Structure 1
Amino acid sequence: MIPLVRSWLILLATFICFGTVAKAQHMNSASAPCRNEVVTVAMENCFDKAYKAADGGLNQRFSQISKVLQADDLQRLKVAQRLWIQFRDATCTAESNLYNGGTASAPAYSACLEELTRQRTADLETIYGWVIANSK
């Protein structure tokens, strides 16, 4: 009887752990634009489109900031941005690898790219928004 109880407890703990991981993924976050998609291909297409829009917004904000920064400040921003891209890519690869190459791997990667890109755009606004406002 004890081995049966132990098996059920292990199974329950496994479901709790996997449920927690799935809820923590970027594709399931409250701000994820495609979290209600249920078909994997549709989810991947939606997150890819959302990422491209977020990346366009980031590039636009970066361009605006670049036009008003002094040369030294711009160089520091470029270094920071290159490091952020490395961080973003490593983070999203690690997240998508949680699916071990399964069908959710690609949407998880795109969702992570999209959310981290939106967050970076917001961070740049927080850091440099006043510089843009004061340059007008």
Structure 2
Amino acid sequence: MAGIAVLAPGVLFLAEPAAAQCSAAQTTLEMRDCAGQEYGAADAELNAVYAQVKSTASAEVMAQVRAAQRAWIPFRDAACAAEAAPYAGGSIQPQIQISCLTRLTRRRSEDLRALLPN
């Protein structure tokens, strides 16, 4: 089974371990792989929610959503780089950054979900 490469700013994670392996992850590499897998899932969810919003929103609303999304991406990246900065040079630094990316991406999905019709 081929792994999926997940890119975070400055970090590459191979998302190959099965979920069962992730619950028993012990090494830094295993934890990073699992974190990359989680981020990949969060990013896929965000893309799906964005597509739903795009299919239901008016052109005017979608223009604003698109502008907000374009502003949010650099914010997310900068916020997570700042959160991980105190750990620079340490083996936990990539884990902190990818966990932040996952958390903020999930929050953004919820924000976009609020724009969907009930």
What TM-score range do you get, normalising by the shorter chain?
A: 0.7 to 0.9
The alignment partner of 1:86 has SS state of helix
Alpha-carbon distance change, 125 to 75 in structure 1, aligned in 2, over 3 angstroms: same
- Give the CA RMSD over aligned residues: 1.7
Moved more, 36-45 or 53-62: 36-45
Task: Give structure 1 regions of 4+ aligned residues with deviation exceeding 2 angstroms.
Answer: 34-39
> What TM-score comes out, normalization by structure 2 length?
0.75
Does residue 106 in structure 1 map to residue 94 in structure 2?
yes
Please show how residues 48-127 of structure 1 align to structure 2 within 5 Å.
Answer: 48-126=36-114
Aligned residues: 97
Give the residue type in structure 1 aligned to 2:88: N
Give the residue type in structure 1 aligned to 2:116: G
In the aligned structure 2, how far is the partner of 1:43 from the partner of 1:97?
19
In the aligned structure 2, how far is the partner of 1:54 from the partner of 1:129?
18
Show structure 2 runs of 5+ residues with no match: 1-21
Give the residue type in structure 2 aligned to 1:81: Q
Give the residue type in structure 2 aligned to 1:74: M
Does residue 40 in structure 1 map to residue 40 in structure 2?
no
In the aligned structure 2, how far is the partner of 1:48 from the partner of 1:70?
34
In the aligned structure 2, how far is the partner of 1:117 from the partner of 1:70?
24
Show structure 1 runs of 5+ residues with no match: 1-33
> What TM-score comes out, normalization by structure 1 length?
0.66
In the aligned structure 1, how far is the partner of 2:36 from the partner of 2:107?
16
Deviation at 1:57, TM superposition (A): 0.3
Larger of the two Rg values belongs to structure: 1
Deviation at 1:35, TM superposition (A): 9.0
Other-structure match for 1:129: 116
Q: Which structure dedicates a bigger proportion of its chain to helix?
A: 1
The percent identity for this pair of structures is 36
